[in-house]
Amino acid sequence: MSELTWQILRATDFTVVENAAASWATYIQTALEIEDDVLKDIDVLRDGSTDFEGTSADALRANVQGTVGDYIEGLGLYADPITRILRAVQEDLTVKKQDLADLFAEAGVELVAAGGIGEERFDIATQGPNDYHYTGGSNNAEQQNERFRLIERAEILTDEFLAIMADARDIDDTYAAALRALNDDAEPLPPRIGEPDYATRTAEYYAEQYQEFLDRVESGEASPTETYGLWSSLSPEDQAQLLTDRPELLGNTDGIPSQVRHDANIAMLTDYVATHPHDDDASGLLQKVNDENLMLLGFTPESMEVDGRDATHHDMQCIVATGDPDAADNIAIYIPGVGSDEDWTEAMAKAGTETYVDYAQNLTDAAESQDPAANNVTVMWLGYDAPGSFAEGYSQEYAEEGGERLDQFTTGISATNQASDANITQIGHSYGSTVTGYADQTGDTSDADQVVLIGSPGPGNEVDSAADFNVGGEDVYVSMSDNDPINAADDVVLGADTTDSELFPQRVDGGDGNHMQYFTDSDSLDNLGLIITDQGEQATRYDPS
């Protein structure tokens, strides 16, 4: 139970609490910078380093990565919540302190505060026998009336006094409980090389880490960032064993390094094609990835789920990257729309999934032309069940589910990326722009740096304008060709009109093509290349004339 008194609330300078929160925030930032210095800037500690090879090198790398990974995970579990709690304490109690100051000002010199916890009150000031505030006896009617007025006023302000202090103590209790709830038993760090019983303790440590990884990842409890920390804490031998034994767990789990996801998915896809030789979509995907040296970051085969009389059909889902996102400076995540997962070669009288992979390569080429010194990668993301028809495209249910998955994928890519400050752009085309809108609104923040809504029927009902996006309104770009049938539609069915310049002021030139030509039209690609490489301010703006 809080022992906060009105005297303490009135006298406390809560900027010291904000300073404590700022210190924790600085601590977190410094630790993240050290993580970059240790794991990303020291070449011999990177996986695959040719300057430090062998069993001992792998063991040392695993030890350092495990230590740093557990340390950073601990920051997320403890330091970050402490920072948020301290800032909330400072903000909420500062408000109550101001409420108390206003109340005291209203009381003036006629009333004085008194009483302990839960008994706060205002008494009439006693100043002397010749003062009308004097509380002693008097037969003067005017003085008696004045005294009754003060008593009534004191009762009213006392009620406010009690309410303010009750609220302040509730705040104190709530945040104290939140701090106590944080488990102060930090996760153990790996044994240090050279300490007694190092081999035995290391084996025990990695066995515990292995089981924790399985428990939290299989249950879906771990976030993508936590998953990456858990993966990094495993020994190289355990990582290799998981890749062999559980490719289905690793291939589609966000937060697993991209190369591991690729290896797992290639293993699953190869086995699947061998046992389903007539699945042309899967065979085409495997050949495309192998022939063009692409990375397969996600694969779910076509399936039919039957529940009683109801049957649910899911087309093949795949996530294909033009390179390794974990090594990229600029990452574009391209999200196609209606019918994009229906067929590998052609669907609904338009391009099939293979063409969308080609579009991803076009985006990478466009980025290369704008920033050839950077490592640019595009991910064709079909990690959701896209609407199978234009009629289904009127529903936002596909976008809501897909948006949550896209947000998780983006967070995972941000966690596994080894560049010091990678730039991530989500590019939603057609119904994919609706998915992108929902992804941005999943949670209070977004790991994307900017989004592009192309040929958009609307970004979903969660946003009314670019200003509502978590990435920030200045980083929401719109591209719509005058020859796009969606541009000529009488109404927008999936949210706000992205061509409304007041709602979405960052509209760039989408070229002269139709709805499916944004990724082949040179003017459109030039602008997309600039946005992907974080040069969006140089993109040519749409000219309605």
One domain for residues 169 and 291? no
pLDDT at 311 over 60: no
Question: What is the arithmetic mean of pLDDT over 157-166?
Answer: 95
Q: Using one digit for the tens of pLDDT, what is the confidence trace for 70-103?
A: 666 666 667 778 888 888 999 999 999 999 999 9
One domain for residues 173 and 294? no
One domain for residues 361 and 485? yes
Quote the CA–CA distance of 60 and 278 in Å, as a whole number: 47
pLDDT at 25 over 50: yes
Among 82, 79, 92, smallest CA distance to 179 is for: 82
Which one of 122, 151, 181 terminates a domain? Answer: 181
Q: For residue 274, tell me if it sits in a domain.
A: no
Q: Using one digit for the tens of pLDDT, what is the confidence trace for 2-11?
A: 999 999 999 9
One domain for residues 364 and 505? yes
Phi, psi (rounded to 5 degrees) for 297:
-100, -5
Quote the CA–CA distance of 221 and 314 in Å, as a whole number: 25
Q: Are 359 and 310 in contact (CB under 8 A)?
A: no
Q: For residue 249, tell me if it sits in a domain.
A: no
CB-neighbour burial class of residue 491 (10 A; exposed 0-12, middle 13-18, buried 19+): exposed
Q: Are 442 and 403 in contact (CB under 8 A)?
A: yes
Quote the CA–CA distance of 140 and 415 in Å, as a whole number: 79
Q: Treating both helix axes as pointing N-terminal to C-terminal, what angle do 55-74 and 15-35 enclose, rounded to 10 degrees?
A: 160
What pLDDT does 184 receive? 55
Q: Using one digit for the tens of pLDDT, what is the confidence trace for 260-309?
A: 999 999 999 999 999 999 999 999 999 999 999 999 999 998 874 544 44
One domain for residues 327 and 464? yes
Phi, psi (rounded to 5 degrees) for 184:
-85, 5
One domain for residues 286 and 159? no
Q: For residue 231, tell me if it sits in a domain.
A: no
Q: For residue 534, tell me if it sits in a domain.
A: yes
pLDDT at 39 over 70: no
Which one of 122, 147, 181 terminates a domain? Answer: 181
* DSSP codes, 160-187: HHHHHHHHHHHHHHHHHHHHHHS--SPP
Give how many domains the chain has, as a whole number. 2
What pLDDT does 127 receive? 46
Q: Average model confidence (pLDDT) for the chain?
A: 86
Residue recorded with tokens 């600039």? 530
Which one of 181, 198, 213 terminates a domain? Answer: 181
| Confidence class for position 187, pLDDT limits 50, 70, 90 | low
Among 480, 478, 477, smallest CA distance to 489 is for: 480
One domain for residues 146 and 13? yes
Q: For residue 113, tell me if it sits in a domain.
A: yes
Among 177, 174, 156, 169, smallest CA distance to 9 is for: 169
Residue 15 is part of which domain span? 6-181
Q: Are 333 and 406 in contact (CB under 8 A)?
A: yes
Least confident of 58-67, 156-165, 185-194: 185-194
| Two structure tokens written together for 39 | 């794991």
What pLDDT does 212 receive? 84
CATH of the domain at 509: 3.40.50.1820
Amino acid at 145: N
pLDDT at 237 over 80: yes
Q: For residue 245, tell me if it sits in a domain.
A: no
| Confidence class for position 139, pLDDT limits 50, 70, 90 | low
One domain for residues 158 and 295? no
Q: For residue 258, tell me if it sits in a domain.
A: no
Q: For residue 244, tell me if it sits in a domain.
A: no
What pLDDT does 132 receive? 42
